[in-house]
Amino acid sequence: MQAPVNHIVGLTSIVRERLLPVSGTVLVRLNQKVGSNEVIAETNWSHEHVLLDVARTLRVSPAAADRLIKLKVDDRVLAKTEIAVGSGLFPRIVTAPRDGRVVAVGGGQVLIEVGETKLELRAGIPGTIVEVIPNRGAVIQTAGALIQGVWGNGRIDSGMLVNIAEKPDGVLAANRLDVSLRGSILLAGMVKDAETLKAAAELPVRGLILSSLYPSLIPMAREMRFPIMVTEGFGPLPMNSAAYRLLSTNAKRDVTVNAEVYDRYSGARPEVIIQLPVSSDPPSLREVEEFAPGLQVRMRRPPSMGMIGTITAVPRGLTILPSGLRAPAAEVKLENGDAVIVPLVNLEVVG
Amino acid sequence: MPSSLVDGNSLLAVDIGAANTRAVLFDVVEGEYRFVVSGSAPSTAEAPYKDVSEGARQAIISLQTILGKTLIDGTGNLITPSQANGSGVDALVVTMSAGPTIRAVVVGLLSEVSIESARRLTESTYARIVETIGMNDRRKPEQQIDAVLRVRPDLIVIAGGTDGGASRSIKKLLEPIGLASFLMPEEKRPAVLFAGNEKLSDDVKNLVGSLAPLLHFSPNVRPSLETEDLEPAQRELAHMIVAIRKNQNKGMELLDQWSGGHILPTAYATGRMVRFLAKVYAAKKGILSVDIGASAAIISAGFRSKSTLNVYPQFGLGENLAGLLNFTSLEDILRWSPLDISSGVLRDYLYQKSLYPSTIAATKEDLAMAHSVVRQALYLAMQSARRDFPRNVAHIKPNLTPLFEPILAGGGALSDASRPGQGLLLLLDSLQPVGVTTVILDQNNLLPLLGAAASQNNILPVQVLESGAFLSVGTVVSPVASANYGTPILRGKLTYENGTEARVELKYGSLETLPLPSGEMGKLTVQCLHGADIGFGPGRAPREGFNVSGGALGVVFDGRGRPLDLPSDAVRRRELIKKWNWTIGGE
């Protein structure tokens, strides 16, 4: 049976496509080196529109109004700019209510895009541009360590990794956050309360790598301006040993936290990337594996949720689980030496 | 002789669920179509595959291993038609529920009329209504445009105007829709279904035709104020959903090619089968089908006058699971649990399970939570679906579930129940049927596949349904009564085919069973006490008795009252649930 893979790898070749949600301008060129915070593409983005019914205001037919409208699509307008003027001794005048850009004209109406903001797409990973996607973005390649998580708040940033989780099941509390941690990316444990997130925001930190987050804090975590990546999930969960080991041994290095929102369909996942110097390209990642003895796996459901182990056998047929359900299962030897039987669907390959 | 039997064509049916893909083979055995074998594999709609055909191929390979016959050739393609050497199949049909929930905007004139019909139409597929625009909407057109842009819909369903009726108001509503589509990047523009005043077709084409990647028309869902006809629009919508999925997932094209275009959304295929069963079998009572899996809860009810199909992605047990808390509380879910589980643990479970929808319960505590969630999700789905049942359906009390015969239940969550008793209790708790009904478990989730197969071979579904491929759990007798706990409310005598008898006394608040094996019939004579009603009127029942069919659990008497009112004391409630589990063989 094919197995899902969660990447926790010390050295690999990482390739990521970064795209604007809408058409824009790409600012990088092929083979250019980029930093993770570097803006690689930008566009103007507006979520607000004003529809002016010129025909109705001037009390003329739509066709007549179209002839009176002085603007065309893509024209920039300032507030109070004249858009159309009626006829008569005291003609009615239609003006732009706000600064904006004309996006449609016709049927006696003018649609103006207002409240425009600039949308900048950052590289997300430090590396080399290996492909430019016209008007949308680029493909970036780098080499280094990769640690994927299960939840991200959609933010991205880079900085020095500081380990303040003495052990994988540590709890990050507000009083642990002092001024010496300002501007750092923190490898922390689980976060249980809002005060901790507030304290992190007040410092501010550049990012949090957490083992778990209490579900009630999700809305607040989404609002934080710094990236938050969760490696295990929700509730009191310790960090898996593979991720903790790799992250803690890379403390004091520059890391990038790209806390992308997990999208199971596109494959976007939150991840930590630690760029490392290499003389040749390391092997690429394997996205698909077959369950087989020798594979390193992580348990995704209780019991032993979050623990890492090695498959020792994949028996044929169905196994009866303690819950009474029957499912294809594997025998797994956990890092603590215990042997457990786990349904295959509750496992993911780590590597 | 039916034409399909002359050829004896084999038919492979593949169902692509959010978590699993199943392949099922139907073939002629001893002159009649039978369910032969099934295979399954994890679905591959998601990354890294993003190709549903891979999961389908793996499921077929799993099937062919059991079957001992080659269906997939060396290049990975399906062998059709079947070959002289025995390899291959004659036809393939596909049903599909995998894929992200479709975001829909509903547009109509009046909220009680066309908007309501458009809502019902949209809820008949894997869509979530994210915005509604109507004539009484007080927002300015630009605010409506911005609202549509904000929700990024995949689909816009427009209804309104009786045939020959209003046209100006609808045209006015189309303007912001057209402008919003115009403002979206071309590849993100929504598909549009127009199911309103048919005279407006040209205007719709003019206003949104050039902007929509897919523009479909269906007969008016509201041809007159008093009439609603969703069926033709549901068929059109089903085709649109498949087309939308084709754009989202590259493997769909291959499956389309293999199946000759016979792909349907799973829910629509289920609804089609229920409509068919209602036409053939529904008498006074309706026919009910429930299905709950990772992608949605589906309630399909067939009555003589009308059939309803409701799909609730918000009550699905997969990636949307954490969102269940928008519709219910942790306490309401935990009321179903036989174990003492804290609300915090359940909350963590819901969020964690939504990260890994395909995982299963390996421990008893996990299973207790999983089954509690299934109960509450199905309960909510049933309560919501009841709003759309026709008003004149047979019932004991209007505020209770109408009378159904039979109830068919399927979906990943129910086929996961390790014992039929577990599955039955889950259904009794969530659906709360009344009167006398047969409960059938669709353990192999065949119903939608038969609905899809019907388009290829109309004799196959009938023969497979009657072949015993479904597991009859038994006959359930659920009196509606008002009595004190422990008071006898029904006495029953079951006379077996060999003349022997078994008796039962049902007390209020309890469950009882009388054995009656599958395939056997018995005559049940009951005496309803304290005004208990099993569908023949308070305190009444036919003196000569009535026939009941057997099943895995025989005849089950549910005396727990309707609506089911669980004790507020948590310890007593859990003890009762354990006792009920024990009584009907759950554990």
Q: Which residue in B145, B351, B363 is closest to A49 by CB distance?
A: B145
Between B43-52, B327-336, B374-383, the lowest mean confidence (pLDDT) is in B43-52
pLDDT category, B3, cuts 50, 70, 90?
very low
Nearest to B511 by CA among B546, B536, B537, B474: B474
- Both B38 and B172 in one domain: the answer is no
The answer to whether A343 contacts B49, with C-beta atoms less than 8 Å apart, is no
Question: Is there a cis peptide before residue B406, judged by omega within 30 degrees of 0?
Answer: yes
Measured between alpha carbons, how far is A224 from A203 in angstroms, rounded to an integer? 12
Structure tokens at B371: 């089954």
Amino acid at B95: T
Alpha-carbon distance B252 to nearest alpha carbon in chain A (angstroms): 15
**Res. B207: pLDDT tops 90:** no
Measured between alpha carbons, how far is B413 from B420 in angstroms, rounded to an integer? 13
- Both B411 and B550 in one domain: the answer is yes
- Both B452 and B513 in one domain: the answer is yes
Residue B369 lies in a domain: no
**Crossing angle (nearest 10°) for helices B168-183 and B141-151:** 50
Coil, strand, or helix at residue B554? coil
- Both B238 and B89 in one domain: the answer is no
Dihedral (Cα; B485, B486, B487, B492), 10-degree rounding: 120
Closest chain B residue to A341, measured at CA: B362
What's CA B285's distance to the chain center, in Å?
Answer: 19
Q: Which residue in A51, A111, A265 is closest to B100 by CB distance?
A: A265
Q: Are B71 and B87 in contact (CB under 8 A)?
A: yes
Sequence-distant (6+) residues with CB within 8 A of B413 are: B292, B293, B317, B370, B374
Q: What residues 69-128 of chain A have any CB closer than 8 A to a CB of chain B?
A: 103-104, 107, 111, 113
Q: What is the secondary structure of B292-348 as a DSSP string?
A: E-SS-EEEEEE-SS-EEEEEEGGG-SSTTGGGGGGTS-HHHHHTT-SS---HHHHHH
The answer to whether A264 contacts B367, with C-beta atoms less than 8 Å apart, is no
The verdict on A16 touching B (C-beta cutoff 8 Å) is: no
φ/ψ (deg, to 5) at A326: -115, 135
Q: Which residue in B44, B150, B362 is closest to A301 by CB distance?
A: B362
Alpha-carbon distance B132 to nearest alpha carbon in chain A (angstroms): 18
- Both B229 and B205 in one domain: the answer is yes
Residue B351 lies in a domain: no
Closest chain B residue to A23, measured at CA: B185
Measured between alpha carbons, how far is A294 from B225 in angstroms, rounded to an integer? 67
Residue B20 sits in a domain of what CATH number? 3.30.420
- DSSP label at residue A279: S
pLDDT category, B478, cuts 50, 70, 90?
very high
pLDDT category, B7, cuts 50, 70, 90?
low
| Preferred mutation among A345, A347, A349 to probe B, highest tally of B CBs within 10 A | A345
Q: Are B98 and B18 in contact (CB under 8 A)?
A: yes
Residue B477 lies in a domain: yes
The verdict on A343 touching B (C-beta cutoff 8 Å) is: yes
By DSSP bridging, strand B155-158 and strand B191-194 are parallel
Structure tokens at A148: 């994927």
| Preferred mutation among B154, B174, B352 to probe A, highest tally of A CBs within 10 A | B352
Q: What is the mean pLDDT of residues B194-220?
A: 91
Q: What per-residue confidence (pLDDT) applies to B279? A: 87
Indicate the average pLDDT of chain A: 94
**Res. B206: pLDDT tops 90:** no
ipTM (interface pTM): 0.92
Q: Which residue in B146, B183, B362 is closest to A321 by CB distance?
A: B362
Closest chain B residue to A324, measured at CA: B418
Q: What per-residue confidence (pLDDT) applies to A2? A: 80
Q: What is the number of structural domains in chain B?
A: 3
The verdict on A2 touching B (C-beta cutoff 8 Å) is: yes
Closest chain B residue to A287, measured at CA: B48
**Res. B2: pLDDT tops 50:** no
Q: What per-residue confidence (pLDDT) applies to B161? A: 83
Residue B52 lies in a domain: yes
Q: What per-residue confidence (pLDDT) applies to B169? A: 86
- Both B232 and B272 in one domain: the answer is no
The answer to whether A323 contacts B364, with C-beta atoms less than 8 Å apart, is yes
**Res. B240: pLDDT tops 80:** yes
The answer to whether A47 contacts B150, with C-beta atoms less than 8 Å apart, is yes
Query: CA distances (Å), B400 to each of A221, B376, B394, B403, B561, in order?
Result: 43, 16, 11, 9, 11
Residues β-bridged to residue A44? A118
Alpha-carbon distance A303 to nearest alpha carbon in chain B (angstroms): 7
The answer to whether B48 contacts A323, with C-beta atoms less than 8 Å apart, is no
Q: Which parts of B160-318 are beta strand (E)?
A: 191-194, 215-217, 263-265, 286-292, 297-302, 307-312
Indicate the average pLDDT of chain B: 93
Domains of chain A: 7-43+124-275 (3.50.30.10), 47-115 (2.40.50), 289-350 (2.30.30.30)
- Both B428 and B284 in one domain: the answer is yes
The answer to whether B360 contacts A327, with C-beta atoms less than 8 Å apart, is yes
The verdict on A313 touching B (C-beta cutoff 8 Å) is: no
* C-beta neighbour count of A130 within 10 angstroms: 14
The verdict on A137 touching B (C-beta cutoff 8 Å) is: no
Measured between alpha carbons, how far is B129 from B469 in angstroms, rounded to an integer? 36
Sequence-distant (6+) residues with CB within 8 A of B302 are: B274, B275, B277, B278, B279, B282, B286, B287, B288, B289
Alpha-carbon distance B47 to nearest alpha carbon in chain A (angstroms): 5
- Both B66 and B108 in one domain: the answer is no
Residue B373 lies in a domain: no
What burial class does residue B112 get, using C-beta atoms within 10 Å of its C-beta: 0-12 exposed, 13-18 middle, 19+ buried? exposed
Coil, strand, or helix at residue B458? coil
Q: What is the pLDDT of residues A251-299, one digit of tens each?
A: 999 999 999 999 999 999 999 999 999 988 899 888 889 999 999 999 9
Question: Is there a cis peptide before residue B420, judged by omega within 30 degrees of 0?
Answer: no
The verdict on A266 touching B (C-beta cutoff 8 Å) is: yes
Q: What is the pLDDT of residues B163-177, one digit of tens each?
A: 877 778 888 889 899
Q: What is the secondary structure of A194-254 as a DSSP string?
A: HHHHHHHHHTT-SEEEEEEE-GGGHHHHHH-SS-EEEEEEESS-PPPHHHHHHHHHTTTSE
**Res. A63: pLDDT tops 70:** yes
Alpha-carbon distance A265 to nearest alpha carbon in chain B (angstroms): 4
The verdict on A301 touching B (C-beta cutoff 8 Å) is: yes
Measured between alpha carbons, how far is B269 from B287 in angstroms, rounded to an integer? 15
Alpha-carbon distance B488 to nearest alpha carbon in chain A (angstroms): 34
Q: What per-residue confidence (pLDDT) applies to B187? A: 87
Measured between alpha carbons, how far is B267 from B272 in angstroms, rounded to an integer? 9
**Crossing angle (nearest 10°) for helices B52-67 and B251-259:** 50
Residue B276 lies in a domain: yes
Q: What is the pLDDT of residues A181-225, one digit of tens each?
A: 999 999 999 999 999 999 999 999 999 999 999 999 999 999 999
Residue B332 lies in a domain: no
- Both B92 and B117 in one domain: the answer is no
**Res. B111: pLDDT tops 90:** no
Measured between alpha carbons, how far is A233 from A192 in angstroms, rounded to an integer? 13
Q: What per-residue confidence (pLDDT) applies to B457? A: 85
Residue B53 lies in a domain: yes
Q: What is the mean pLDDT of residues B425-429?
A: 96
CB pairs under 8 A between A and B: 140
Alpha-carbon distance A343 to nearest alpha carbon in chain B (angstroms): 7
Q: What per-residue confidence (pLDDT) applies to A112? A: 96
Domain that residue B429 falls in? 267-316+393-583
Residues β-bridged to residue A310? A296, A333
pLDDT category, B88, cuts 50, 70, 90?
very high
Chain A residues within an 8 Å CB radius of B145: 49, 51, 111
Residue bearing the bigger pLDDT, B535 or B208: B535
Token pair 């045209």: residue: B171
**Res. B1: pLDDT tops 60:** no
Q: What per-residue confidence (pLDDT) applies to B4? A: 41
pLDDT category, B573, cuts 50, 70, 90?
very high
Structure tokens at A348: 């993911």
Structure tokens at A165: 């989780």
Coil, strand, or helix at residue B553? coil
- Both B181 and B275 in one domain: the answer is no
Considering chain A, what percentage of its residues have pLDDT values greater than 70? 100
Residue B238 sits in a domain of what CATH number? 3.40.50.280
Q: What per-residue confidence (pLDDT) applies to B171? A: 86
- Both B274 and B410 in one domain: the answer is yes
Q: What is the pLDDT of residues B511-550, one digit of tens each?
A: 999 999 999 999 999 999 999 999 999 999 999 999 999 9
**Res. B199: pLDDT tops 60:** yes
Q: What per-residue confidence (pLDDT) applies to B8? A: 67
Q: Are A139 and A133 in contact (CB under 8 A)?
A: yes
The answer to whether A266 contacts B47, with C-beta atoms less than 8 Å apart, is yes
- Both B445 and B543 in one domain: the answer is yes
Alpha-carbon distance B468 to nearest alpha carbon in chain A (angstroms): 23
Q: What per-residue confidence (pLDDT) applies to B414? A: 81
Chain A residues within an 8 Å CB radius of B418: 323-326
